[in-house]
Structure 1
């Protein structure tokens, strides 16, 4: 049996998924990477996928990806939204004959997918990846929080399922009136992220010796990520313990220039890293700083834990769910002083670092992508099987 035959004979054979999203490869962010993994995993198990997304510089042409012109979102230019012609979307869907429509973003492409699914009477599911109301507060649009929740509730309640990355997010959105929610968690590739990538040469290159505590920040350099908390915490720790701590920043974004100007002396900014270089950076750090309060799931936390690098995160529900009780530490949101105090204690005594490292490694080892897909795809099949009954859901 050849590869194509094995694929079509897999457990998801017969599933024809139309995925609508405003972010997808080659964009580099947690949502885009997760969706790229989703499409690959479904195809490997015998399913068929057609992706509707925005155009993107450097994107390759593909028969199973339909791209539409996108425009930058005014408050967040790095986010591109696309508003495709509905007639074109419906025509392409009729040709593809989907058995399930999944909207991963709530605007632009996601809205087009929701409309088309209802018109063609195809089961519709959605996923909640981004706390848009929290982002709105960071970008001066806090007054939009209430109507924002009303729109999101309308959008997601129009489907048979809303997938959320943590139980904490399920509780948050259900408190806002969301219905039929379930957890679609995240996994980590234990081959790509592992302690074996730790490099003495890398540490030497960034000015760290055996006794240096390397505190890393990995992710987008953007206001809503609260990078300034990481910068200030390391500055305070470096003042308290001169020469004992180094800041490593991996990533880029709109705050890149300002972050470099405010970083403590001796900090290293690598820009965006991929592949083995990213694996090496994670494993060569001693602790990851994750100050964001807006992430619905910080993929970087799992990647760091799999690399043997414990995490200090903000004390918000999704982060607590990943790190507590003994896999990391949390500090009050925006509190650089408390983070700095944790760093200085770790400089003086590495024992807690080693303890959290072992607990984090054990947790990451259990968070395989295979287990993630087993659960999600089983639910896909449940939605498809129950779709005649589910169509009794009130629509608006």
Structure 2
């Protein structure tokens, strides 16, 4: 089969959407399919391989290092007229994504879209709650322009269906348990954090930005620190809130952006993951921490509701007070924390990226087959 994937973010950019899209792309290639990747040209990038179409883009406001793609309907029409894919996947709702859907509709190419980001909730986080319903309507119009909207959880599927999103399909996520593993724990890295094996490394890994509800993580750490004065708070990532956070909390350790094996090494070298965000569509880092043998404190939605068993391999709570209490409980009970981490690691070994690739392939192939049958019926 010949597929096309259209995305406005892609590695080496570091975010959950970029890494998820790359995983889907590589999964299709591993299954023997031809894949055309359409994305914006990244900084200092001159050319790409024959399997990648680079388009113009511009920097995304308040997201340093990320871009959105300019409209490219004409280029896509020309390309897909000459060499039409059997189906396309549009991962992002930016101008490039809208262009891809318009071109696909005009040429009769089936298209699936990916719902990766709750932009409606971001309106609240960035001080514009009055735009929340507008953002949701905008996303509904975009996704209903495709043949299927792919979501990672049952919870999100039910919500979107209640908001009149059509053809919502769950495509599960997985984690590479070989890459994310307790075996990557590094005593030298812990020493660089000022900790030996008896100390407590609390970690946050992700974008350091207002939408991540980071004040709660700080409050939880300061509370648990009363009972564990040896605890250190390690931050992996970057974002607009980092500078002020570092200024207000000079004892925090900031490791910056990490990639690939370094992400796994930092996770495995920690002891407790605090993930206070309310705005994730999934939260890949929850699975990565669990696979690394690190218990997570998070809210009961997204990846946690789908995969984390409360008080068995982590803590999935409903409110801020319970979040702080759960963090303190795990910080002060070494035996419980280690037992949860071990159970979390074992539970992640049943998730297989190869199965996700197979399901994605089956879904796209099904859209292509349906479109062919409808075309044949119309001709008849």
Structure 1 and Structure 2 fold alike (TM over 0.5): yes
Q: Of the candidates 90, 97, 107, which is equivalent to residue 94 of structure 2?
A: 107
Q: Of the candidates 298, 306, 318, which is equivalent to residue 291 of structure 2?
A: 306
Q: Is the 8 A contact 2:144 2:165 kept in 1?
A: yes
Q: Is the 8 A contact 2:2 2:87 kept in 1?
A: yes
Answer with 282-291 or 339-348: which moved more: 339-348
In structure 2, the residue matched to 1:358 is 342
In structure 2, the residue matched to 1:194 is 181
Higher relative contact order (CA 8 A, sep 6+): 2
In structure 2, the residue matched to 1:97 is 84
Distance 2:200 2:323 in 1: 14
Quote how far apart the aligned CAs of 1:78 are: 5.2
Q: Of the candidates 161, 170, 174, which is equivalent to residue 148 of structure 2?
A: 161
Distance 1:391 1:322 in 2: 40
Q: How many residues align?
A: 374
Quote how far apart the aligned CAs of 1:298 are: 0.9
Q: Does 1:319 pair with 2:304?
A: yes
Quote how far apart the aligned CAs of 1:299 are: 0.9
Query: TM-score scaled to structure 1, two decimals?
Result: 0.88
Q: State how 1:117-156 maps to structure 2 within 5 Å.
A: 117-156=104-143
Q: Of the candidates 17, 27, 35, which is equivalent to residue 3 of structure 2?
A: 17
CA displacement, residues 61-87 of structure 1 (integer Å, 9 cap, x when unaligned): 222222222123446555422223422
CA displacement, residues 307-361 of structure 1 (integer Å, 9 cap, x when unaligned): 111111123355322323432102345x2x5434333322332232133213211
Answer with 338-347 or 225-234: which moved more: 338-347
Q: Is the 8 A contact 2:155 2:301 kept in 1?
A: no
Quote how far apart the aligned CAs of 1:242 are: 5.0
Q: Secondary structure at the match of 1:366?
A: coil
In structure 1, the residue matched to 2:244 is 258
Distance 2:309 2:285 in 1: 16
Q: State how 1:8-87 maps to structure 2 within 5 Å.
A: 15-59=1-45, 61-74=48-61, 76=63, 79-87=66-74
**Aligned CA distance change for structure 1 residues 221 and 206 (closer, same or farther; 3 Å):** same
Quote how far apart the aligned CAs of 1:295 are: 1.0
Q: Is the 8 A contact 2:210 2:241 kept in 1?
A: yes
Q: Is the 8 A contact 1:123 1:383 kept in 2?
A: yes
Distance 1:111 1:221 in 2: 28
Q: Gaps spanning 5+ residues in structure 2: where?
A: none
**Aligned CA distance change for structure 1 residues 261 and 338 (closer, same or farther; 3 Å):** farther
Answer with 99-108 or 318-327: which moved more: 318-327
Q: Is the 8 A contact 1:244 1:347 kept in 2?
A: no
Distance 2:259 2:62 in 1: 27
Q: State how 1:228-243 maps to structure 2 within 5 Å.
A: 228-238=215-225, 240-241=226-227, 243=229
Q: Is the 8 A contact 2:313 2:343 kept in 1?
A: yes
Distance 1:345 1:244 in 2: 15
In structure 2, the residue matched to 1:270 is 255
In structure 1, the residue matched to 2:328 is 344
Query: TM-score scaled to structure 2, two decimals?
Result: 0.92
Q: Does 1:331 pair with 2:279?
A: no
Q: Is the 8 A contact 2:286 2:303 kept in 1?
A: no
Q: Secondary structure at the match of 1:24?
A: coil
CA displacement, residues 72-129 of structure 1 (integer Å, 9 cap, x when unaligned): 3446555422223422221011122111021111221110110000110111111101
In structure 2, the residue matched to 1:218 is 205
Q: Does 1:172 pair with 2:159?
A: yes
Quote how far apart the aligned CAs of 1:282 are: 0.7
Q: Is the 8 A contact 1:19 1:51 kept in 2?
A: yes
Q: Gaps spanning 5+ residues in structure 1: where?
A: 1-14
